[in-house]
Amino acid sequence: AVVLRCGHGIHSTCLRELQRNAPTIVQAMRCPLCSKSTQEDMSGIWRVIDEEVARVRMPKEYRTTFVRLHCNDCESITPKVPFHIMGMKCGNCGSYNTQEEDRFTVEVPEGDDENGEEENPEQQQQQQ
């Protein structure tokens, strides 16, 4: 058995199975009981996801979509984070081990999106 950093135990074969079959890296690194990250330092993984979020441009119909997030690691709520298919980052601890609690649209004033340029969600989040 392996004791995860949250204190929960799991058979080592079950942990390997979880990590092998999870649909995303974040889900593979999450305790199946409490959803906390299984590793003490996830900063390398968060950095990779940061890069993907910056690289992947969201379609126009999602650029005004925001979410209210619950962080599985620090238990905080971030009330307004830009929606992104690659992941949504906790405004408190920087974890992507988050859970969407609500999704909403914010109206963009006429003409603000005419040139087709968009800030990436990381830039939008920093401005808030």
pLDDT (tens digit per residue) in 7-30: 999 999 999 999 999 999 999 999
**Residue 108 pLDDT grade (very low, low, confident, very high; cuts 50, 70, 90):** confident
> Could you tell me if 62 and 11 lie in one domain?
no
**Residue 51 pLDDT grade (very low, low, confident, very high; cuts 50, 70, 90):** very high
Q: State the residue range of the domain holding 65.
A: 58-108+121-128
Q: Is 65 within a domain? A: yes
* pLDDT surpassing 60 at residue 114: no
Q: Which residues pair with 85 in a beta bridge?
A: none
Q: Is 10 within a domain? A: yes
Hey, what are 68's tokens? 């209210």
> Could you tell me if 62 and 29 lie in one domain?
no
Phi then psi for residue 121, to 5 deg, are: -55, -30
* pLDDT surpassing 80 at residue 63: yes
Task: Report the SS3 class of residue 68.
Answer: strand
> Could you tell me if 63 and 99 lie in one domain?
yes
Average pLDDT, the chain: 89
Hey, what are 74's tokens? 């620090």
